[in-house]
Structure 1
Amino acid sequence: MEPQLEEIREQQKAAWNKFSSGWKKWDDLTMDFLKPMGNEIIRLLTLKDTDVVLDIASGTGEPGLTIASAVHNGKVIMTDLAEDMLEIARENAARRNIKNIETIVCDVCELPFADNTFDAISCRFGFMFFPDMLIAANEMVRVLKPGGKLATSVWNVPEKNFWVTVTMGAINRNIDLPVPPAGSPGMFRCAKDGLISDLFLLAGLKNISQKEVASQLNSKTADTYWSMMTEVAAPVAAGLGKADEITREKIKREVYQALDQQYPDGNIVIDASALVISGEK
């Protein structure tokens, strides 16, 4: 891998490990938020009871743990760059008495598995962070068995994801952040219609489908929303980290005002939209 891509990978690994405690704290809320996308991924994989499944960018465990619950006589290998996130996944598995899993710290661009190993592959919200998405897709296809299915989710356009833009918009208005190069890893990198489908085609997949899936971030209060976003969202924390105390308070005030305007009844339940894409080897 090129040095520049390795640098991105190492930065991401450090960031996810750093924010793992926040993900653990807010696991119930975030997993409820992301469940519709995971459910659609699982539906598209049409799993059999004996399947051996690879879950990439597993984070704190989903949808890998739910898949493991479905493949009683199979197994799920859960991978992530961040060991601290996988530690939480193992804790969640133990709490739910799910034993047919294994966790491996590895890079999706260099998967440590033989060709044609897995019956299915899931990847919920990983692609937009991969240093080289085509290398990642090629690696997934390499380790997927012929006839096996790959399904992933990515965030849809900013206009349909106020839960991100309300905070990042306020940060960008108040802090002069450097503009990342086009195509750099980021939340909306894969939002363009057909981008992942075309990538899957290039990687050799067929029977490719794309579906929009809606969800809601049920934070209920502005305080809960703000605490969650500042403790799990690396771009938010990084942006706020470049601001002085007065600017941070101004950003927070603007976010609260925008939420109050959008949800005058005080019940902060924010719509979100993702794309779920699948293909077959």
Structure 2
Amino acid sequence: MELEVEKIRDQQKETWNKFSPGWKKWDELTMDFLKPMGDGIIKLLDLKKHDIVLDVAAGSGEPGLTIASRLTEGKVISSDLSEGMLEIAAENAKKRGIINFETKVCDVCELPFLDNTFDAISCRFGFMFFPDMLLAIKEMTRVLKPGGKIATAVWNIPEKNFWVTAIMSTINKNIELPTPPPGAPGMFRCSKAGFMSDLFSQAGLKNISENEITGKLNCKTTDVYWDLMNDVAAPVVAALSKADDEIKDKIKTEVYSLVNQKYPNNSVIIDCSALVIYGEK
């Protein structure tokens, strides 16, 4: 693995381990937020009760946990770079009494599984973080059985995701952040129409489809929105760490004003949009 790819991978691992307590704290709200995309993935995979499924970049467990609950004779292996996130996933499985669910700490670019192992693969909001997205989809395709299915969700364009842009555009207006290199991990790295379909095609997948799915981030209050983004959004925390207290307060005031203007009366229920991409081996 190239040095730069290794560096990005190690940074991702460190970041997600650091932020895992925040994701645990907000698990109920964030899982409700991301559920439509997980449901969209599950519908496309059209799973059979005995299927063996790999959930890549699984985080705190979804959609793998929901998949496992439906596989009466199959199982899910839930993989992620972060031990901290997978500990939450294992706890969530235990709480729900789901026993056909395993966790595996590993890198998507070096999956520790034999060729043709899985009937299906799910990956909800993982691709934007992968250092080498083509290598990642090729690895997933390698471990997929012939005829197997893969579905992933990525964020749609910024204009359709105010829940991110409200805070990040305000930060960018107040703090001079370095421009990330082309192709660096980021929220909207996969948002261009056809981008993911092309990656799937390069990996040799067929019967590829790409569709939009919408959801809502139901914070209710601006306080909840602000606290959530400061607990789970690594780019927000990283950017604000570079600001002094005066600038932070200014950013917070401006974000509150922007959000309250669009969603007044404590009804901060923000629309979001994702693309769900499907392919077969």
Identity percentage over the alignment? Answer: 68
The aligned amino acid for 1:245 is: D
- What do the CA deviations read for 1:121-162 (whole angstroms, capped 9, x no partner)? 000000011000000000000000000000000000000000
State the number of aligned residues.
281
Partner of 1:45: 45
The aligned amino acid for 1:30 is: T
3-state SS in 2 of match to 1:19? helix
Deviation at 1:92, TM superposition (A): 0.2
Pair 1:117-2:117 in alignment = yes
- What do the CA deviations read for 1:161-202 (whole angstroms, capped 9, x no partner)? 000000001110111110001111100000000000000000
Partner of 1:9: 9
3-state SS in 1 of match to 2:10? helix
Q: State the alpha-carbon separation in 1 of the partners of residues 263 and 67 from structure 2.
A: 35
The aligned amino acid for 1:166 is: A
Q: State the alpha-carbon separation in 1 of the partners of residues 254 and 16 from structure 2.
A: 27
The aligned amino acid for 1:137 is: I
- What do the CA deviations read for 1:31-75 (whole angstroms, capped 9, x no partner)? 000000000000000100000000000000000000000111101
Deviation at 1:265, TM superposition (A): 2.5
The aligned amino acid for 2:102 is: E
Q: What does 1:206-245 correspond to in 2, within 5 Å?
A: 206-245=206-245
3-state SS in 2 of match to 1:151? strand
3-state SS in 2 of match to 1:58? coil
3-state SS in 2 of match to 1:92? helix
Which stretches of structure 1, 4 residues or more, deviate above 3 A after TM superposition?
none
- What do the CA deviations read for 1:237-276 (whole angstroms, capped 9, x no partner)? 0011111111111111010000111012221000000000
The aligned amino acid for 2:273 is: S
* Two-structure CA RMSD over aligned residues (Å): 0.5
3-state SS in 2 of match to 1:199? helix
Q: What does 1:56-205 correspond to in 2, within 5 Å?
A: 56-205=56-205
Q: State the alpha-carbon separation in 2 of the partners of residues 40 and 186 from structure 1.
A: 22
Q: State the alpha-carbon separation in 2 of the partners of residues 73 and 254 from structure 1.
A: 52
Deviation at 1:87, TM superposition (A): 0.2
3-state SS in 2 of match to 1:103? strand
> TM-score when scaled to structure 1?
0.99
Q: State the alpha-carbon separation in 2 of the partners of residues 251 and 77 from structure 1.
A: 41
Q: State the alpha-carbon separation in 2 of the partners of residues 248 and 13 from structure 1.
A: 27
Partner of 2:277: 277
- What do the CA deviations read for 1:207-265 (whole angstroms, capped 9, x no partner)? 00011000000000000000000000000000111111111111110100001110122
3-state SS in 2 of match to 1:66? helix
Deviation at 1:110, TM superposition (A): 0.2
Partner of 1:254: 254
Q: State the alpha-carbon separation in 2 of the partners of residues 71 and 209 from structure 1.
A: 24
3-state SS in 1 of match to 2:12? helix
Q: State the alpha-carbon separation in 2 of the partners of residues 33 and 46 from structure 1.
A: 22
Deviation at 1:118, TM superposition (A): 0.1
> TM-score when scaled to structure 2?
0.99
The aligned amino acid for 2:72 is: H
The aligned amino acid for 1:61 is: G
Q: State the alpha-carbon separation in 1 of the partners of residues 272 and 249 from structure 2.
A: 26
